[in-house]
Homo-oligomer: A and B are copies of this chain.
Amino acid sequence: MIGADVMVETLVRSGISVCFANPGTSEIHATVALERNSGMRPVLTLFEAVATGAADGYARMTGSPAAVLLHQGPGLANGLTNIHNATKARSPIVNIVGGHTRDHQLYDTPLKANIAGIAGTVCSWVREVKNPENMARDAAEAAAAANGPPGQVATLVVPSDCSWMEAGEPAGPLSACVRSDVSQDLVEAAAKALTCGEPAALFVGGTVLLDQSLALAGRIARSTGARLFGAGFFARLQRGAGRLNLERLPYFPEDAEAAVASLRQAVMVGCTEPVTFFAYPNSSGLVLAKECTRTVLAGPDANVAAALAALSDALETTDDLAVLDLPLPEEPTGNLTAEKAAAIIALNLPEGTIVSEEGITAGFECFNKTMGSAPHDWLFITGGGLGQGLTAATGAAIACPDRKVLCLHGDGGAMYTCQALWTQARENLDVTTVIFANRSYAILEVELQRLGLNHLSSELASLVSIDDPTLDFVKLAESMGVEAMRAKTAEEFRDQFCNCMKRDGPQLIEAIL
């Protein structure tokens, strides 16, 4: 078997069945191998960030890695931002990057680049295949490394001659590593923190945001009177009617600090201490008060489910099924605003929807309004690299073909990875994208106001405006084969949104705000 076939079959045996691909000449044998192996579904993308972002979305929904196939240094570089986002999400991904033959790496060719070096800036597991005989072992170890703990992006650089040469037999799957358990001392310290009588909060992140663990976290919070916060920029949260409603820290430092100023005990499970997204003059970056005692029961990489169970046992919590009465917004009318669009989404969200949200300024409204919507999953931008929303939605739809995917996206951010729409059309994915068209980098307008610049010169205003020329997302979507429509009023948006929720297939609504 040649190396490319060994690699693909080893990945299939390791449980990987989807490969998001953007191949070039160095990956031609891998491309043929993808097609030849019935256990692997190749999904073509027009841009590498779509491939890496889709693999991230896929991993968040399945907990398992997809493969990615990229072309040399430039292909890796184009996919790097969403690898950064995936790394922050702790998403398992096997990232295959084709390279020159081992001999050709000696020459100063146009594509010559430090592929492993580029990968190493973001991935902690990087390996270059040194000879074809290593291919099976290297592919199997890449899959095992991706599965963690923690889940991570494992990058395997494959010289093209190692793909086309005879390479022996594929390898079977390697057994997964186990997460480390937390000590009983830490459990008791956390229990004491929550019951010592001081104002306390439980901060949860990672897999604690998923159904069973989240319910247990809620039980702990209710039995101790602690407040319950979700970690800031989460990979996946299960929420909606009948589920626990977490507090979320405000974005700006002064608001976040005020929200937790009274706390004197903070216990972290599945996350570390909250910090602000950015630092500002006169903000320290930390959110909790100096007087607040921090107890990290389990970081994101530890066995958080066991830690939570141990904490619950130590606290002797009882199964007090709280009746949750989460509010829904009023039905809005008139000219469309972000708030009204969010209300319509909240009132009409189908049960089981996967929401991939990168609304930035509009996103907060959507998150707040949907707390009482039908149960759903919420995927968030984890690493601050824009354009993650459209691509994660694409991968989530591949992962969960029976569920509706709703992508809520700012217009500025959507332009970073608009090519995702083509893959959605090509694969006929059931994704509805809502573009919040405020026609500006609205977050930068807010930041300028925070600098005291309330009256911007037209030149300065133009540097944060993307309205000259006006982007036409209906034409943009149609150019890539996605049906699209535009809403200017709440009534139009409701009709279009409800139709999209009823029908299958890729659709886009440009919501003019």
A interface residues (Cβ-Cβ under 8 A, vs B): 21, 23-26, 28-29, 31-32, 34-35, 42, 44, 46-47, 49, 72-74, 77-78, 80-81, 84-85, 88, 100-101, 103-104, 106-111, 113-114, 117-118, 120-122, 160-161, 164, 232-233, 272, 275-279, 281, 284-286, 381-386, 412, 415-416, 418-419, 422, 425-426, 443-444, 447-448, 451, 453, 457, 459-460, 462-464, 466, 468-476, 478-481
Given A110-B381, A110-B382, A110-B383: 10 more A-B contacts, CB < 8 Å: A23-B463, A28-B448, A31-B444, A31-B464, A32-B448, A47-B415, A49-B78, A104-B275, A418-B418, A473-B479
Question: Do the beta carbons of A121 and B118 come within 8 Å of each other?
Answer: yes
Question: Do the beta carbons of B279 and A28 come within 8 Å of each other?
Answer: no
Question: Do the beta carbons of B460 and A386 come within 8 Å of each other?
Answer: no
Question: Do the beta carbons of A81 and B84 come within 8 Å of each other?
Answer: no
Within 8 Å CB of A110, what residues of B? 88, 232-233, 277, 381-384
A312 to chain B, nearest CB (A): 27
Within 8 Å CB of A422, what residues of B? 415, 466, 469, 471
Question: Do the beta carbons of B472 and A478 come within 8 Å of each other?
Answer: yes
Instruction: Compute how far the CA of A114 lies from the CA of B26 in the bound complex, rounded to whole angstroms.
Output: 28
Within 8 Å CB of A415, what residues of B? 46-47, 419, 422
Partner of A25 from the list B278, B381, B385 (CB cut-off 8 Å) is B278
Partner of A101 from the list B74, B161, B279 (CB cut-off 8 Å) is B279
> Which chain B residue shows the least CB distance to A453?
B32
Question: Do the beta carbons of A469 and B463 come within 8 Å of each other?
Answer: no
Instruction: Compute how far the CA of A418 lies from the CA of B113 in the bound complex, rounded to whole angstroms.
Output: 24
Question: Do the beta carbons of A111 and B80 come within 8 Å of each other?
Answer: no
Question: Do the beta carbons of B121 and A117 come within 8 Å of each other?
Answer: yes
A164 to chain B, nearest CB (A): 6
Partner of A278 from the list B21, B23, B160 (CB cut-off 8 Å) is B160
Question: Do the beta carbons of B25 and A447 come within 8 Å of each other?
Answer: yes
Within 8 Å CB of A386, what residues of B? 74
A418 to chain B, nearest CB (A): 8
Question: Do the beta carbons of A385 and B47 come within 8 Å of each other?
Answer: no
A86 to chain B, nearest CB (A): 12
Instruction: Compute how far the CA of A444 lies from the CA of B69 in the bound complex, rounded to whole angstroms.
Output: 15
A468 to chain B, nearest CB (A): 6
> Which chain B residue shows the least CB distance to A427?
B468
Within 8 Å CB of A80, what residues of B? 77-78, 80, 118
Partner of A35 from the list B120, B385, B459 (CB cut-off 8 Å) is B459
Question: Do the beta carbons of A462 and B44 come within 8 Å of each other?
Answer: yes
A255 to chain B, nearest CB (A): 16
